Structure 1
Amino acid sequence: MNKEIKIALVEDDENLRFLVAERLQSEGYKVLEAPNGDDGEKVVLAETPHVVLLDWMLPGKQGSEVCTSIRNNGYEGQVIMMTAKGQDIDKIEAYKFGVSDYIIKPFNMDVLVAMIDSKIKFSLNTDKSESYKFANMEHQPNTHLLIRDSRKIELTILENRILLYFLKNKNKVINREELMMEVWGYNADVNTRTLDMHIVRLRKKIETNADSPQYLQTVRGIGYKFVYAG
């Protein structure tokens, strides 16, 4: 099973929390939600998520207090502070509390996802030893990299999981349900269109001609098959 990547989302604005959580879940992350600073701190210390998304203005403990407290209690993951434009937060002050980075509201969801993706890639296993070679490519799942003709191509979390599953099951027909289970997990509320979209993106990265795939082939009516004889 894939290593579950957890993100703690500490935000009192219910609508924003819902939108961010939904988006992050669709990207393959497990989201732990908290509506205030005290609950947020408890969640972080109990669950040790990879990333904490922390609102600056919170009921109960403020974001700065939560950050100071979790750092004092040994939390070493990434803390991204979410702050509204109007708040005059001194960047240097924020870093003093132990914030890794911050994003200004209202933020673009794609930017937030990209920021989290990049932080997780660097904080996850720095062990680059696991690698799968095929044709002129090498997949390093721990660093989310595909090396093609010596050129590094970054994979998203989901592309990474999909490719890894195919490489572990070469030349085997994999039905869509099995793949969705593997990539999104049990309570995945995703449809096959979402999966197909990720396959299309992955093909663009690994195929010479994505419209006529050599490796990642469609098995009509069933799913996919990763064809490679090596």
Structure 2
Amino acid sequence: MEKDITVAVVEDDENLRFLVSHRLQTENYKVIQVGNGLEAEQIILEAQPDIVLLDWMLPGKEGIEVCEAVRKGGFENTIIMMTAKSQDVDKIDAYSYGITDYITKPFNMDVLVAMIENKVRFFVPKNSNKDVHVFGNTEHHPQIHSLVRDGKKIELTILENRILLHFLQNMGREITREELMEVVWGYSSNVNTRTLDMHVVRLRKKIENNPDKPNYLQTVRGLGYKFVDEE
């Protein structure tokens, strides 16, 4: 059965592009194929694929420039950079441009598929997430990472969106910090709980009338948080 997941394969080597695209299609992904950087930027912003496999070296515009441009254009989905071993030294720097992850050429197709399946599992919103949730006078639209209140759109970051969605799907339930970190970062995380708390503070500023005395996103001492909507 075809997965409702679109992967854009941006690679100028026709043979590799064909091999990767063919393998992903056999795994039931929808595939968009692109051979140069300028075209890739346009297609990514128009088609909004769930995952982009982006080659580092491309004609027209380098992969890192494509990544930077689409991030500035509002694209928030997963971008996996395909690099050669010699480009390892530049990888750290590239995270600042919005790369989600890397795979080094030559790569094993099974490893690539496993990496994509991991991203789908943890980072691609499920269909059920398309539902609009309402609390107070605010609507949450998870697919566009936004709140709508009094006709005004309030942008959420990817992490804020993920945190709020989990709360709204578990209304009234006490949720531990550990559970939230696994939901947000996609694994039993070693991320400092203070990092999570920082995102919660930022989220409160967007959803609460008084962030210092939260009405919705409440702290549960010694445990974590719970979300309540009691008018």
TM range (shorter): 0.5 to 0.7
Distance in 2 between residues matched to 1:174 and 1:80, nearest whole Å = 34
1:221 aligns with 2:193: no
The TM-score normalised by the length of structure 1 is 0.53
CA contact (8 A) 2:56 2:63 kept: yes
CA contact (8 A) 1:132 1:140 kept: yes
Pick closer, same or farther for the CA change 1:144–1:81 going to 2, 3 Å. Answer: same
What's the CA shift for 1:181? Answer: 1.5
Distance in 2 between residues matched to 1:80 and 1:212, nearest whole Å = 43
* SS of residue in 1 equivalent to 2:218: strand
CA contact (8 A) 2:10 2:53 kept: no
What's the CA shift for 1:227? Answer: 2.1
Length, aligned pairs only: 172
38-47 or 166-175: which moved more?
A: 38-47
What's the CA shift for 1:133? Answer: 1.1
Q: Which amino acid aligns with 1:64?
A: N
Give matches, 1:21-100, under 5 Å.
Answer: 39=16, 42-47=19-24, 48=29, 63-64=35-36, 77=49, 89=60
Distance in 1 between residues matched to 2:16 and 2:59, nearest whole Å = 25
Deviations 1:191-210 (A, max 9, x none): 32222222122111101122
What's the CA shift for 1:153? Answer: 1.0
Q: Which has the higher contact order (CA 8 A, sep 6+)?
A: 1
Give matches, 1:94-109, under 5 Å.
Answer: none
The TM-score normalised by the length of structure 2 is 0.53
Structure 1: gaps spanning 5 or more residues: 12-35, 55-62, 90-101
Structure 2: gaps spanning 5 or more residues: 79-124
CA RMSD after TM alignment: 4.8
Distance in 1 between residues matched to 2:194 and 2:16, nearest whole Å = 36
Distance in 1 between residues matched to 2:130 and 2:182, nearest whole Å = 26
| Structure 1 runs of 4+ with >6 Å offset | 3-11, 49-52, 78-84, 106-109, 124-129
Pick closer, same or farther for the CA change 1:201–1:127 going to 2, 3 Å. Answer: same
Pick closer, same or farther for the CA change 1:220–1:149 going to 2, 3 Å. Answer: same
Q: Which residue of 2 aligns with 1:147?
A: 148
Distance in 2 between residues matched to 1:227 and 1:163, nearest whole Å = 12
* SS of residue in 1 equivalent to 2:167: helix
Pick closer, same or farther for the CA change 1:41–1:205 going to 2, 3 Å. Answer: farther
What's the CA shift for 1:147? Answer: 0.7
Q: Which residue of 1 aligns with 2:92?
A: none
* SS of residue in 2 equivalent to 1:133: strand
Deviations 1:57-113 (A, max 9, x none): xxxxxx539x89xx9xxx9948697888xx993xxxxxxxxxxxx67857996x664
CA contact (8 A) 2:204 2:211 kept: yes
Q: Which residue of 1 aligns with 2:75?
A: 117
What's the CA shift for 1:116? Answer: 5.8
